[in-house]
Structure 1
Amino acid sequence: MKRLMMAALIALLFIQTANLAKAETKTGCEATQFKIVMKSEADVKEKASAASKTLKTYKKNKELSASGRTGSWYKVCHSNKTAYINMADAKEVFSSGEKAILKKFDGRKGVNQVVSVTGKAMGDTKVTIQTYEKKQGEWRRALKKMDGVIGKNGFTKSKKEGDGKSPVGIFSFGTAFGSETKPAGVKMSYKKTTKYDYWVDDQASTDYNKWKTYKGNPAVKWKSFERMNHELYKYGTVINYNTNPIVKGKGSAIFLHVWRGSTKPTAGCTATAEKNVLSLLKWMDPVQKPHIVMGTNDSLKSVK
């Protein structure tokens, strides 16, 4: 009996050791984020350097899984370890929806950064935020996918003031802002908000859909306004919706800002976790003319 128990114990320890080894093997590489295809023969490098040791060479059209990109190097898995392929030797595989979105920027000179905010249906409030940048003449994914929320009543192609919806379309960005000092690494113009800063949504006012600084009583000056030192505006950026020209009643104060949570939609803005907002602000470069595209794949088909 003792021998049987000892044998069972040894077998159990062997299984546990094997499972642990498998778990360690699985964690040797980062999770797959997207696919890449070799444009020509491509060397897999031990480190993100052309001078690094070559681990393997892949032929043209070979498809691989990538866990991301660091600088000009894609991260791939080789022998359960992270290895690298030069960006010049590979192109990214995009879905039909991604291709359609990125194609819209072919004729927009100088636009080399795109923030995509997409939902599955017009009434959805949860969205996926993705970023793309043009590198070496081709579109590449930039930051990792982010979860976001939009207006409590979803997307619309004909936004109206107070409808609780987010506008479908392609827009540039205005100034970045926040109640905190400009974070290190942010290249966009940045306004630190105060208790005297407001965004006006009073349709009867000539200040409609404008940022105004006013030291008097705002309730006397405007019938409706937003305080720019709101906690959700700790960090954010203006989305240039209905700004040139401004049409009264067409909607105002459309921003990208910090969310209340993944289940709490906005009044019409796009929102995501604070760390994501900071990542976006630090990634966006005014020289690259960043734009945001918002909507569902179907609703964006007619957007030029």
Structure 2
Amino acid sequence: MRRFPDQRVEKAGKTSILLVRPSPLDPRQGLLQMGPLRLRCALGKGGVSTRKREGDGATPLASMRLLSAYRRPGGRGGPRFALPTRLTRASDGWCDEARHGRYNCPVRLPFPKSAERMMRGDRLYDGVVVLDWNVTHRARGLGSAIFLHVARPGYAPTEGCVALSRGDLDRLAPHLHRGMRLVVRR
């Protein structure tokens, strides 16, 4: 991936699309594009899929609205988003139990069924953008907790999310606003 010195987020202005395409060399990695800016990203360990299912590790091939954000509190907490943002608490979780009524919704921990912890020790969720995959119109088993978040070292594959380096997410965060979409294509 190549970045040009004059390539800045500010040039993207009020771009309403974040376009994600998998790499032809490794479908578990890709490029996220916002206007002229191109950033390396990690994708799901199952690549990109039109038939997303809970636990398949795939990133959905879809156009998803950016709904809201979570950020870790503190000095070197999470990125400063332009989206509606909640400071993450130790009790914040996200239900991933397909048979539960709170499936693919935020929950308070401890939770009686399976739920992701939003305040993670590995800091991958220091900054999280909630994407509208199976959120506003939920269907059980079609995948949960599809986020834009911080990537693991080396851009290791995710469980289905799109992940950027911490620096790239920090840089992009102030330009992510309501009305934007993250579009995953082949």
Which TM-score band applies after superposition, normalised by the shorter structure?
0.7 to 0.9
Quick check: 1:226 aligned with 2:116? Answer: yes
Q: Superposition pairs for residues 169-188 of structure 1, below 5 Å?
A: 169-181=62-74, 186-188=81-83
Aligned equivalent of 1:256, options 134, 145, 148: 148
C-alpha contact (below 8 Å) 1:159/1:251 kept by paired residues: yes
Quick check: 1:116 aligned with 2:19? Answer: yes
The Cα shift of 1:179 comes to 1.7
Give the whole-Å Cα distance in 2 for the aligned partners of 1:176 and 1:32: 27
Structure 2 counterpart of 1:119, one-letter code: P
Give the whole-Å Cα distance in 1 for the aligned partners of 2:46 and 2:104: 20
1:155 matched to which residue of 2? 48
Aligned equivalent of 2:7, options 61, 68, 82: 68
C-alpha contact (below 8 Å) 1:122/1:155 kept by paired residues: no
The Cα shift of 1:116 comes to 1.0
1:193 matched to which residue of 2? 88
Give the whole-Å Cα distance in 2 for the aligned partners of 1:256 and 1:148: 10
Taking only aligned residues, the RMSD between alpha carbons, in angstroms, comes to: 2.5
Any idea what the Cα deviations from partners look like across 1:181-218, whole Å, max 9, x if unmatched? 5768532111111111110011111000001124xx32
Give the whole-Å Cα distance in 2 for the aligned partners of 1:163 and 1:184: 29
2:183 matched to which residue of 1? 293
C-alpha contact (below 8 Å) 1:167/1:295 kept by paired residues: no
Unaligned runs of 5+ in 1: 1-30, 34-65, 73-110, 133-140, 297-304
Q: Superposition pairs for residues 74-85 of structure 1, below 5 Å?
A: none
Q: Aligned in 2, Cα 1:146/1:70: closer, same or farther, shift over 3 Å?
A: closer
Q: Superposition pairs for residues 93-132 of structure 1, below 5 Å?
A: 112-121=15-24, 124-132=27-35
C-alpha contact (below 8 Å) 2:78/2:126 kept by paired residues: no
Q: TM-score, normalised by structure 1?
A: 0.54
C-alpha contact (below 8 Å) 2:78/2:127 kept by paired residues: no
1:77 matched to which residue of 2? none
Any idea what the Cα deviations from partners look like across 1:48-104, whole Å, max 9, x if unmatched? xxxxxxxxxxxxxxxxxx9436967xxxxxxxxxxxxxxxxxxxxxxxxxxxxxxxx
The Cα shift of 1:226 comes to 0.2
Q: Aligned in 2, Cα 1:184/1:161: closer, same or farther, shift over 3 Å?
A: closer
C-alpha contact (below 8 Å) 1:148/1:262 kept by paired residues: no
1:136 matched to which residue of 2? none
Q: TM-score, normalised by structure 2?
A: 0.86
SS of 1:276's equivalent in the other structure is: helix
SS of 2:154's equivalent in the other structure is: coil
Quick check: 1:247 aligned with 2:139? Answer: yes
Give the whole-Å Cα distance in 2 for the aligned partners of 1:174 and 1:188: 8
The Cα shift of 1:245 comes to 1.1
Larger CA Rg, structure 1 vs 2: 1
Give aligned-pair identity as a percent: 25
Aligned length: 179
